[in-house]
């Protein structure tokens, strides 16, 4: 019987060479249900939704949509059947306005004037006001997501798939989004919601399917479970919370004073009068939505960009004009957000990638000549201590999953025992277990007396490990506050609230 279900999936299987991404997956979604897909990275969530959206063809298994067999050959067919998807990464042109961007995604776009009117109607009806004439380049991340959502809503979908929609939003923006999703569901639109933020899933979703290793391991009603229970179902074992024992704070060792930086790209933000100070053993959390100066901050602190004299000080010594290697020599290390192509070289082996930043503080060279054996041992040490899952150090960095490569990158910096470590989005796209071990490694480093700056969009993460919290918004860094006693609402306001976005009265 599939009559009362909107989407019914049975025995869906998809194998890639060497790995079965989905193995006999089955679940169902009722009309108007908000259904969560939960699982670690590599559990098979993306493959599953790609099959539903017609991007990947299953090897075996059946799908039924509204009781009829459903075999989308391509996304266009999926959209025609009433399935829409909002991707984690936006596909928008910054130089075009909202209406033009929406028109580009349509098969038969109506005249611009009509389209603009429709965008206004729909966006107001769902509490996501959006001006169709604005340039996408000028929009905040939350507003850009609205463009993607409106694009989907214009097709009047029966099933809306959302992939990690809240990773770019402030808490206030998340609230607005949830209002919209609840309204959609009350009108009968089913929502398939992919996220690893367990609290969100508990507050939003009616049902959840949990995947592990390509198989469905459990289904549940998230409201009836604790976040910890959900995490344990995902990981398939006991979930280890980070150990945040008291650390003793030492002297101030790192200072940034009135740091300005011109934008690094056309639509990028400038840094304006950034000031912070850090004591030994302290973890400072820098929150904020991506694109507000995080990359720029990491670049100026790690030495990729130099800044005006007197703006960056380590142990009182002015290091503003030093490059990355000179800063490493003095004990300051960084780990950028983008793993492939920035923190690591995709086509090079892990041994080579260990050499990338490791030659300054580790004896991996002899008068400039590479000691490949020492480099390989260093890579093996990282792999072993940070539980990097890979056949060995000869494997190219691009062959590793995002989480494993991130463990390698963080491990490479931590094992050089820096005095100051700056990391940008250390657990972005990393599964729960790996994220926990990365956070623990950062805390362990701090407890040995290092100062750590964690730049992250994940507020739960910052609350979990940071001693003090400050917000980066449009290139300005707020004054730091102790994380203890800080509420989510206060954090949201520090992050710029809803960025002036309004929620229309429903």
Partner 1 sequence: MITLIKRPTPSRGWSYTTPIIAVLATMIAGGLMFAALGKDPAQAIRMIFWDPLFGPNAAYFRGQLLVKAGPLILIASGLAVGFRAGIWNIGAEGQYIIGAICGASVALAAYPAESHLLFPAMIVAGALGGWLWGMIPAVLKVLFNTSEILVSLMLVYVAQNLLAYAAFGPLKNPQGFGFPGSRNLQQYPSAHNPELIAGTGAHWGVLAALVAVIGAYILMHRHIAGFRIRVAGEAPRAARFAGVVPARLVMFCLGLSGALAGLAGLFEVSGPSGQITDGFNAGYGFTAIIVAFLGRLHPLGILLAGLLMALTYIGGDMAQMMLGLPGAAIQVFQGMLLFFLLGFDVLTNYRIRIGRARA
Strand pairing category for 451-455 and 283-287 = parallel
Per CB under 8 A, the list member of 396, 463, 488, 493 interacting with partner 1 is: 396
- Asked whether position 265 contacts partner 1 by CB under 8 A, the answer is no
β-strand partners of 62? 10
Q: What angle do CA 165, 403, 487 make, to 5 degrees?
A: 50
Per CB under 8 A, the list member of 203, 325, 385, 487 interacting with partner 1 is: 325
Q: How far is the CB of 294 from partner 1 (least distance, A)?
A: 15
Binding mask 438-477 for partner 1 (x = CB under 8 A): ----------------------------------------
- Asked whether position 370 contacts partner 1 by CB under 8 A, the answer is yes
Tokens of 353: 């990638």
Stretch that binds partner 1, among 89-97, 391-399, 415-423, 494-502 (CB under 8 A): 391-399
Strand pairing category for 34-39 and 190-194 = parallel
Stretch that binds partner 1, among 54-62, 111-119, 175-183, 226-234 (CB under 8 A): 54-62
Q: How far is the CB of 347 from partner 1 (least distance, A)?
A: 5
Rounded to the nearest 10 degrees, how much is the dihedral formed by the CA atoms of 341, 346, 349, 352? Answer: -10
Residue 261 and residue 296 in contact, taking contact as beta carbons nearer than 8 Å: yes
User: Which strand (E) or helix (H) includes residue 408?
Assistant: helix 402-414
Strand pairing category for 369-370 and 365-366 = antiparallel
Size of site (CB under 8 A) for partner 1: 39
Nearer to partner 1, 208 or 350 (CB): 350
CA distance 48 to 45: 5
- Asked whether position 395 contacts partner 1 by CB under 8 A, the answer is yes
Q: How far is the CB of 404 from partner 1 (least distance, A)?
A: 12
Q: How far is the CB of 320 from partner 1 (least distance, A)?
A: 16
Cα Rg, the chain, nearest whole Å: 24
User: Which strand (E) or helix (H) includes residue 333?
Assistant: strand 332-335
- Asked whether position 56 contacts partner 1 by CB under 8 A, the answer is yes
Start-end of H helices in 278-401? 294-302, 324-329, 350-358, 372-385
Stretch that binds partner 1, among 95-103, 300-308, 447-455, 470-478 (CB under 8 A): 300-308
Residue 350 and residue 379 in contact, taking contact as beta carbons nearer than 8 Å: yes
Q: How far is the CB of 194 from partner 1 (least distance, A)?
A: 19
- Asked whether position 365 contacts partner 1 by CB under 8 A, the answer is yes
Provide the binding-site residues for partner 1, judged by CB under 8 A. 55-57, 74, 302-304, 323-326, 328, 334, 336, 338, 340-348, 352, 355-357, 359-360, 365, 368-370, 394-396, 398-399
């Amino acid at each position: 019987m599939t009559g009362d279900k909107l989407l019914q999936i049975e025995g869906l299987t998809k194998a890639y060479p060497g790995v079965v991404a989905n193995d006999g997956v089955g679940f169902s979604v009722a009309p108007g249900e908000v259904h969560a897909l939960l699982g670690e990275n590599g559990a098979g969530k993306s493959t599953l939704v790609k099959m539903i959206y017609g991007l990947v063809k299953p090897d075996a298994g059946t799908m039924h949509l509204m009781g009829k067999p459903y075999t989308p050959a391509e996304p266009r067919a999926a959209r025609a059947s009433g399935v829409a998807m909002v991707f984690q990464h936006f596909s928008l042109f910054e130089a075009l306005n909202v209406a033009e961007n929406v028109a580009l995604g349509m098969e038969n776009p109506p005249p611009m004037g009509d389209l603009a009117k429709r965008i206004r109607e729909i966006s107001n009806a769902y509490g996501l006001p959006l001006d169709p004439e604005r340039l996408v380049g000028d929009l905040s991340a939350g507003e850009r997501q609205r463009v993607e959502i409106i694009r989907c809503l214009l097709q009047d979908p029966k099933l809306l798939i959302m992939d990690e929609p809240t990773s770019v939003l402030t808490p206030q923006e998340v609230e607005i989004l949830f209002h919209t999703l609840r309204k959609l569901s009350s009108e009968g639109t089913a929502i398939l919601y992919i996220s690893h933020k367990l609290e969100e899933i508990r507050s939003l979703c009616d049902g959840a399917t949990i995947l592990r290793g390509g198989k469905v391991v459990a289904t549940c009603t998230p409201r009836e479970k604790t976040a910890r229970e959900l995490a344990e179902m995902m990981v398939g074992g006991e979930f280890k919370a980070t150990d945040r024992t008291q650390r003793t704070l030492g002297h101030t060792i790192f200072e940034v004073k009135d740091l300005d930086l011109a934008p690094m790209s056309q639509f990028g933000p400038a840094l304006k009068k950034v000031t912070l100070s850090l004591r030994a053993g302290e973890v400072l959390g820098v929150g904020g939505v991506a694109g507000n100066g995080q990359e720029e901050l990491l670049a100026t602190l790690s030495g990729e960009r130099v800044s005006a004299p007197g703006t960056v000080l380590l142990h009182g010594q002015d290091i503003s004009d030093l490059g990355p290697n000179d800063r490493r020599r003095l004990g300051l290390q960084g780990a950028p957000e983008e793993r492939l192509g920035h923190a690591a070289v995709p086509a090079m082996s892990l041994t080579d990638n260990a050499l990338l930043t490791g030659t300054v503080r580790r004896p991996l060279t002899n008068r400039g000549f590479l000691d490949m054996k020492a480099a390989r041992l260093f890579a093996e040490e990282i792999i072993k201590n940070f539980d990097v899952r890979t056949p060995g150090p000869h494997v190219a960095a691009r062959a590793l999953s995002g989480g494993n490569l991130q463990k390698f990158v963080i491990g490479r910096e931590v094992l050089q025992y820096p005095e100051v470590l700056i990391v940008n989005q250390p657990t972005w796209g990393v599964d729960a277990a790996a994220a926990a071990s990365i956070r623990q490694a950062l805390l362990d480093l701090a407890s040995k007396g290092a100062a750590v700056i964690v730049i992250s969009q994940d507020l739960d993460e910052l609350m979990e490990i940071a001693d003090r919290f400050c917000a980066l918004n449009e290139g300005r860094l707020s004054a730091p506050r102790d994380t203890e006693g800080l509420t989510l609402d206060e954090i949201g306001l520090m992050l710029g609230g809803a960025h002036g976005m309004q929620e229309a009265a429903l």
